[in-house]
Amino acid sequence: MRKSKTILPLIGCILLALLFFGLTREKNSYQRTYTSYQVPDVTLVNQHNQPVPLRTFLAPDKPLMLEFIFTSCTTLCPNQSVKFSNFQKRLAPDTEQVRLVSITVDPETDTPEVLLHYLKQYQAQPGWEFLTGSKKDIKLVMNAFGIKPSDMITLDSSLLLRSTESGKWVRIDGQVHSEDFYREYQRLIQ
């Protein structure tokens, strides 16, 4: 009888933990959709203050992962940047086999100098570019990729992937865990 009194609370705790894990996992799931985008013909600048003709830069010569973030963000963006950084570490030493692109949604704050400091903070390797530009051009790019300013204040994000083989885009909305991030890349290059 005494054993059942100690086992029942233990079973209850295990069931609660499983329920919590299931709810948390569901909350952190993501949705992937195939889509197409028309890259606008604008010139942005990278973290080295070099001009980057966006349409040419995003041409399908290698796999691409594209995100929209801003450096003063304290919630979602650091999480995304850690994933990009960890992804590059996993690809090392050939970090340039895929093009990682972060585009700021706050060009007034995110100058090339700020972007360079941000990338150093996340130990960015070759292959990861951070782009900024005029407010007008950034808005044009956000509209082209279906990114709304309100997306930046939610805890969900959009990661855009493009394969070199098909040239098709995959849009991932929601929270992508690190293991899912790498798995999506593997799907992209198959």
Compute the Cα dihedral for 124, 156, 160, 42 and give only its sign.
negative
CB 128 within 8 A of CB 95: yes
Q: Is 77 annotated as a binding residue?
A: yes
Looking up tokens 């585009």, which residue turns up?
103
Q: In the beta sheet, which residues pair with residue 170?
A: 34, 161
Q: Is 13 annotated as a binding residue?
A: no
Compute the Cα dihedral for 117, 134, 163, 174 and give only its sign.
positive
Structure tokens given for 142:
């956000």
Residue 141 DSSP SS3 = helix
Rounded distance between C-alpha atoms, residue 179 and residue 176, angstroms? 8
Radius of gyration for the alpha carbons in the chain, expressed in angstroms and rounded: 20
- Count of Cβ atoms closer than 10 Å to residue 30 Cβ: 17
Question: What is the number of residues in the chain?
Answer: 190
Structure tokens given for 38:
């028309």
Residues annotated in a binding site for Cu cation: 73, 77
Residue ranges at the known binding site: 73, 77
